[in-house]
Amino acid sequence: MSSERVPVELCKGINGLEKVVLREVRGSSAEVYLYGGQVTSWKNDHGEELLFVSSKAIFKPPKAIRGGIPICFPQFGNHGSLEQHGFARNRVWSIDVDPPPFPTNTSSRAFIDLILKPSEEDMKIWPHSYEFRLRVALGPGGDLMLTSRIRNTSTEGKPLTFTFAYHTYFSVSDISEVRVEGLETLDYLDNLQNKERFTEQGDAITFESEVDKIYVSTPTKIAILDHEKKRTFVIRKDGLPDAVVWNPWDKKAKAMADFGDDEYKHMLCVEAAAVEKPITLKPGEEWRGRQELSAVPSSYCSGQLDPQKVLQCS
C-alpha cells in the first residue's frame, strides 16, 4: 500500500519529535504532535493548509508550539502559580491504545487517541489525579474533530477543578478582510482591560487592532468568513460555552520571540473554551468537550453575510 493511503501513520516531525499523520481518502490530512497532543496541520482535499503555524515556532520543549491547536489545560490564562494556559501543551502525550468506547463512533478510519496522565513532577506542581483522553479525527469530508474526555481519578475524594480551551490558530489571507459571525451582542471579558465585562455591538466582528476577548455563553456555532480566500470556517462546539478571540496585532507580534513581525495579518485565534465558569468533577466523574471544524468555500453560501444562512449551509 502506498504511504499516501495509510489513514494513520506515526512518524518523526521537526526536531525528531513524534507526530501522527491522518489521511482521508479524498485527500485531506492532519498532523498531531505527541508533544502537546497538538494538531499542527489540517489540510483540505486540495492540499491547502487551513491552520496557522508560525514560521518561528519552536518545536522544542518546554516551549509550546506557536500555532495549530494547542490544548490549554488545566487552566486557560494566567492565574496563581500554574504557567500561562496550563501545562498540557508542553507535555509529551502517549498514544492511547485501548480507550473506553465513545457514545458515538467515528465513521472515519483516520483518527488517533492520545492520553495524558500526571507525572510525579506534575503532581508537585498541580496535585490532582486525572486521565485526559483526546481523540483527533478527520471526517470523510475533511472536517476536523477534537474530543477531550477528562476524568477525575482521585482515590482520596478530591474534586478536580479546571478551565480549558482549544486554542485554534486559523490561517487567514488578510486579517483586515475577515469577519466573525455568531458573537454579536454577546457579553465578553476584555483581557486588554483587566477582564472588565462589556457587551459586543450588533454587527459581525471585524479587525483593525489588537483583540483579546473572552465571549461568554456563546452559541454552539461560530463562523469565520475570509472574503479574500472566499472561505468560511465553521466551528461547532459542545461542552465549551465560551469563545476566546485573539489577534496580537503588530506590537505584541514583535514582542513574541516565536512569532514573525507581520504574521498577525495571516492568523486569527477563535478558541472554543470553558473559562468563565471552571469545571469541577467529583472523583470518578468525566467531562467531555468537543470541537468540530469545517472549511467551506464561501460561494456555497448565497447569503454569506447573513449569519443564519452561513451557519445553516455547511
Which residues in this chain contact ligand BG6 in the complex, by CB under 6 A? Answer: 84-85, 167, 191, 212, 244, 246, 269, 271
Residue 89 is labelled as binding a ligand:
yes
- 253 phi and psi angles, rounded to 5 deg: -55, -45
Find out whether 134 and 114 touch, Cβ atoms under 8 Å. Answer: yes
Contacts of 67 (CB under 8 A, 6+ apart): 40, 51, 52, 53, 54, 57, 169, 267
Residue 201 is labelled as binding a ligand:
no
For residue 211, give the nearest of 256, 169, 249, 171 by alpha carbon.
Answer: 249
Nearer to ligand BG6, 87 or 246 (CB): 246
Burial of 152 (0-12, 13-18, 19+ CB in 10 A): buried
Name the catalytic one among 128, 167, 181, 263.
Answer: 167
Distance CA 54, CA 165 (A): 19
Nearer to ligand BG6, 31 or 271 (CB): 271
Name the catalytic one among 31, 181, 263, 271.
Answer: 271
Residue 91 is labelled as binding a ligand:
no
Kindly state the smallest distance separating residue 167's Cβ from ligand BG6, in Å.
6
Nearer to ligand BG6, 205 or 244 (CB): 244
The residues with which 30 forms a beta bridge, in sequence order, are: 22, 42
Kindly state the smallest distance separating residue 244's Cβ from ligand BG6, in Å.
5
Nearer to ligand BG6, 22 or 65 (CB): 65
Nearer to ligand BG6, 32 or 64 (CB): 64
For residue 134, give the nearest of 45, 73, 62, 60 by alpha carbon.
Answer: 73
- 238 phi and psi angles, rounded to 5 deg: -145, 130
| 128 has catalytic annotation | no
Kindly state the smallest distance separating residue 76's Cβ from ligand BG6, in Å.
7
Kindly state the smallest distance separating residue 43's Cβ from ligand BG6, in Å.
23
N- to C-terminal Cα distance for the chain? 33
Kindly state the smallest distance separating residue 281's Cβ from ligand BG6, in Å.
23
| 85 has catalytic annotation | no
Please state the residue numbers annotated as binding site.
66, 84, 89
Residues annotated in a binding site for substrate? 66, 84, 89
Residues recognised as catalytic: 167, 271
